[in-house]
Each structure stands twice: as structure tokens, then as C-alpha cells.
Amino acid sequence: MRSGGSSSRGDHLSAPALEVRGLEYTYPDGTQVLRGTDFHIHPGERVALLGPNGAGKTTLVLHLNGILTPDAGDVTVAGLAVQPRTVKEIRRRVGIVFQDPDDQLFMTTVRQDVAFGPANYGVTGEELDRRVLDALTDVGMAGVVDRPPHHLSLGERRRVAVATVLAMNPEILVLDEPSSNMDPASRRELADVLTGLEITLLMITHDLPYALELCPRAMIMNHGRIVADGPTAALLGDRELMAANRLELPLGFDPSLARPERLPAPALTRPAQLPDPRGRPFSSK
């Protein structure tokens, strides 16, 4: 398993994996989406980004690797500021898994798709083959390496999409709605894959139980700002905060009951977690 932290570079040891300061962005049609977004994530953390539709979450993601350029504020990834001249290295450091795997998997075979990223950074030959197989093995999809991506199921395509960015050895993995439209088994399989990776992770999701299961820390975004930041169980348990930000738990889901067995320990110190058959985050009344 590869190391996701920046421990290999001593000068970045104390730098946050991701730091966002005062980010503001207005779309060309005049809609202001980001209004001073501030947060930072330390190496090895797994953080959920929650918020209603239109809160600016996906727009924020496009700033993290310089696809969009902010009107004000800045983004720093493991000590390197996002600027036109650093953007290539930034895009290697920030691995974004987009919401629709059909957008992410655009080559004619899985192998080509996973090789696309590292090949753009000059990796070739045996090293490239090794990267492709390692990344696919990490997500349990080494068996489909020569299949065309559009012949895979949605769950399989999501995992391959994760592999396409893992192959670039990113500092931080950013996932946009990873559990949307997936059946419960595929959703759990993806959770197993993600908890097994020792990597800093930022996950946008509307799936609050999923956020609780995977991320010890959560942030709530609304109207282009981070309005709350804390332990996931505490945020989900705060009814007023939740209601004020159009967030709703599934019927019967009680985050405090889910807590003792399912709340993950801090990342990097715990072994790869297997699903606990006794884990029942839903109350049994």
C-alpha cells in the first residue's frame, strides 16, 4: 500500500495536506458560488464535506486542482500553492474522482484509462504497467484490466475511477458523491476500498450514514462558506444545525447509536477495517 501522506518530503512534514483560504468565485453568468471558503485538512485525515444542492461543493472541488481560478483567496496542496505554473504538479497531488464515472473513464480499455494519468507525467514501460496493476489491485479490480470501461457495472466503474487517480500517487483523494446511485452492496464494497487506503481523503456526499462510517471529521458547506466543522457524529447529532442547512438523516437513523462500534478511529493508525456484522447504525425500535 502506498503512503498518502507527505512524510517522504521532510520540508512538508508540518504542512496541511490541503489548505483553502478565503476562496471566492463567481460564474461568468454572475452567480456567486463561493463566498470566502476557509478550511484545512491534515495528512491522513478523512473528511466529509456535506451541504445542500447548490451550496458550491462541486465548484470548490474544481478549484482544488486549478480547473477553475478563484476571484480571491488561495489553495495550497502539501505546501505548494495552486498557480498557473504549479498546476501540473498540483493535478498529480490532488486526485479527483468525479461523480459520473462515464466522465472519468474516457479511454477504450480500463488499462489505458488507469495509465492515462501516470503516462501524462512521463511514466512509461514496466513502471507504468506496475502502477496500473497496483492501483487496480488496491481497489480490487485487477481482473478487468483489459475490459472496455463501459462494459462494467456502475460499482465497478466507480472503483476503477478511484484507481485512475491512485495510479498518480496523489497526496489527497477527493471524491464527489462516491455512493450516489449505487446498490447497498457496491456502496459497502467501495467503503471497504476507501477505508483500506492509507491516504488523505475529502469526500463530498449527501449520504450522511456513509459520511459517519468513513469520516471522523465533517464540514458543512452552505451559501459558499464552511458553516460548521467538527466530529461527524457531533454535527449529525445537532438537529438545529442540520435543519438550518437542509440536511436530513434517513428515517430511524440515530448517529449516537451508530457511534460505539462504527465510528472509525483516526486514519493511519487503524488496521484495514472489515465490515462488522454486528454493526447496526439504525435504531431497532
Partner 1 sequence: MSAGHAHALYVHGDSRVHALPAHVKLVALLIVIVAVVATPRERVGVFAAHAVVIIAAAACAHLSPRFIGGRLLIGAPFLAFAFLLPFVGGGDRVVVGALSLSVGGLWGAWSVLVKGTLALAASVVVTATTPVPALLAGLSRLRVPVVITEIAGFMVRYLEVIAGEMHRAKVAMAARGYQPRWAWQGTALATSAGALFIRSHERGERVYDAMLSRGYQGRLPQLDATAATPADWVRALALPLCAAAAAALAVII
Query: Closest CB to partner 1 among 14 and 153?
Result: 153
Nearer to partner 1, 15 or 132 (CB): 132
Q: How far is the CB of 105 from partner 1 (least distance, A)?
A: 8
| DSSP annotation of 266 | P
The distance from CA 132 to its chain's CA centroid, rounded to whole angstroms, is: 20
Q: What is the DSSP string of 32-89?
A: EEEEEEEEEE-TT-EEEEE--TTSSHHHHHHHHTTSS--SEEEEEETTEE--TTTHHH
Report in angstroms how near the CB of residue 84 gets to partner 1 at its nearest.
13
Nearest distance from C-beta of residue 154 to partner 1, angstroms: 6
Cβ closest to partner 1, residue 116 vs residue 253:
116
DSSP-based three-state secondary structure for 141:
coil
Which of 149, 281 has the CB closer to partner 1?
Answer: 149
Give residues in contact with partner 1 (CB under 8 A).
62, 65, 67, 88, 91-92, 94, 96, 98, 100, 102-104, 106-109, 111-112, 115-117, 119-121, 128, 148-154, 164-165, 168
Give the closest residue to 92 by CA, choosing from 165, 157, 180: 165
Helices and strands counted in the chain (H then E): 11, 10
Q: Of 120 and 256, which CB lies nearer to partner 1 in the complex structure?
A: 120
Nearer to partner 1, 108 or 256 (CB): 108
Eight-class DSSP state of 269: T
Q: Which is nearer to partner 1, 166 or 193 (CB)?
A: 166
The distance of closest approach from Cβ of residue 114 to partner 1 in the complex, given in angstroms and rounded to an integer, is 10
Find the helix or strand (DSSP H, E) in which 219 lies: strand 217-222
Bridge partners of 26, per DSSP, are 32
For residues 10 and 43, what is the distance between their CA atoms, to the nearest angstrom?
A: 13
Burial label, 239 (beta-carbon count in 10 A; 0-12, 13-18, 19+): exposed
Shortest gap between Cβ of 187 and partner 1 (angstroms)? 16
3-state secondary structure of 211: helix
Partners of residue 18 on adjacent β-strands:
41, 77
Measured from the CB atom, the residue of 159 and 262 that comes closer to partner 1 is 159
Q: Closest separation between CB of residue 100 and partner 1, Å? A: 7
CA atoms of 19 and 132, how far apart (whole Å) = 29
**Minimum gap (Å) between residue 133 Cβ and partner 1:** 14
Minimum distance from CB of 71 to partner 1 (Å)?
19
Contact 134, 2 (CB under 8 A): yes
For every residue of 165-180, which 3-state class applies, written as one string?
HHCCCCCEEEEECCCC
